[in-house]
Structure 1
């Protein structure tokens, strides 16, 4: 009888341990935040940064100021749509787009993305993040979505402010096309909006590049500055002769894809190609960045 009771007690003890272990595991899974929760943390952190708010404010205020300055200046005839800035407000919107792709859009893409991972290294906050039971994959996805979402919002604000400010200050006159044709304002306005939309793909490509450099450099300054420098290098490379294939694979080439929308016979091949190139850059950069973050020791940071 004693032996039987002891065996029963032992079995009961094992069952209790199993139940306790299962319950603990269940509670652990219940406490583990989802990716959306981690995303909300990242969005809240970004929204609390004065830099992000000032950047959006600059995208809203600066374009109309530039257009107003253009109205009192000699037209820059050596720049695409430069000689038409006094003829149509839509020409001003396209001139600013052409100017923005040279340095502003790569900078815009990297200001948040180039800092979002390296900032954790700089402040030594990786331990705090990882003790929230969030996986590195969740953190990487949340930071990537936060940076991409912010950059898209900034581009939207910049485009809307530029187009609206140009129309209000200069006017809604017909837009001269790149083939010499005159495009009615009602037709030209959607085309100008579409031209700004073509910047989405290369902007996201530069965002992915900045995220990668943020992970690898662990330095906010390098993460922000390096994509801009690489953007300049791509533009210089694209001016060299005999490198047509290489030029097509550059992210900066996608910023010029909108030109085909304003010719007599419109063509969208460069826009499709730019989207494919940007997607390739984004996939490669994000994959390398994720693997680098997953494999390296961040606990010591």
Structure 2
């Protein structure tokens, strides 16, 4: 402190202001954390994962206790003779409507619920852009789809091996596949469902944005998957069938052949990526252009 010539203390000279702490603007990560927190709080998502965990155990126990086998479904005849057959049987059955339903459960509602509850204004006042909202919600829905598939696969394979056993598996060409190789093939077969599952998630996101109706966003993708499967069974439209999103769900058959072939698997991956990219693009630009200020 300095003093004047009269001896009166003078106020200290002002110092340079301390640099202001940089504030981090909210981004996609903020939206993602918020959406994941909302998802965890929803009973529907928790119950869905619980069903994915417990339902395969019940199904394996029921089929293992029955004398007759579901011979009309692939690997149904072997469900009592090898623990590797049951996961493939459930994989084939689940691809008909269970997988699309799991993909649509969150994705079909995640945008439409904001319209339903009128909360768009609240979200848009949190210093985040529509693009950040879109990608944060899309990532949340995709994470749930992947998690539900992983839980379902782990429960199905684990319960089948524990309850039925690790006997060798008979391949689609009649060859006997040893236990170690069979486990790798079963895991790979379930892995092939991941790409079309993400494709159904993108389709559900698009319908969630366009319909603005949670019920339609969840139900319509499941109905479309059933229509695709029906179209795929019709004769004379093989070219059309290759580009359906349901077709890649059967691409695992080539892995179990006596001489494995990967053409359908590669083409199915490309089809799934195409569906995902197109649906996400339409959903993104639809959300950017839509009038949501009234919500």
Structure-1-length-normalised TM-score: 0.90
Match of 1:43? Answer: 36
The 5 A counterparts of 1:37-116 are 37-73=30-66, 74-116=68-110
Distance in 1 between the 2:114 and 2:234 partners?
39
Unaligned stretches of 5+ residues in structure 1: 1-22
Deviation per CA, 1:49-93: give whole Å up to 9, x if none: 111111111100110100000012211112100100000011011
Deviation per CA, 1:151-193: give whole Å up to 9, x if none: 1000000000000000011110000100001100110001000
Query: Aligned to 1:89, what secondary structure does the other structure show?
Result: coil
Distance in 1 between the 2:251 and 2:87 partners?
16
Distance in 2 between the 1:260 and 1:94 partners?
13
Match of 2:231? Answer: 237
The 5 A counterparts of 1:148-187 are 148-187=142-181
Deviation per CA, 1:202-224: give whole Å up to 9, x if none: 00000000000000000000000
Where does structure 1 differ by over 2 angstroms across 4 or more consecutive aligned residues? Answer: 29-32
How many residue pairs align between the two structures? 276
The 5 A counterparts of 1:142-221 are 142-221=136-215
Distance in 1 between the 2:148 and 2:106 partners?
11
Higher helix share: 1
Match of 1:247? Answer: 241
Q: What displacement does 1:30 show?
A: 3.8
Distance in 1 between the 2:260 and 2:29 partners?
42
Distance in 2 between the 1:78 and 1:36 partners?
47
Query: Aligned to 1:251, what secondary structure does the other structure show?
Result: coil
Distance in 2 between the 1:56 and 1:281 partners?
25
What is the root-mean-square deviation in Å for CA atoms of aligned residues? 1.4
Distance in 1 between the 2:31 and 2:229 partners?
37
Query: Aligned to 1:82, what secondary structure does the other structure show?
Result: coil
Unaligned stretches of 5+ residues in structure 2: 1-18
Match of 2:3? Answer: none
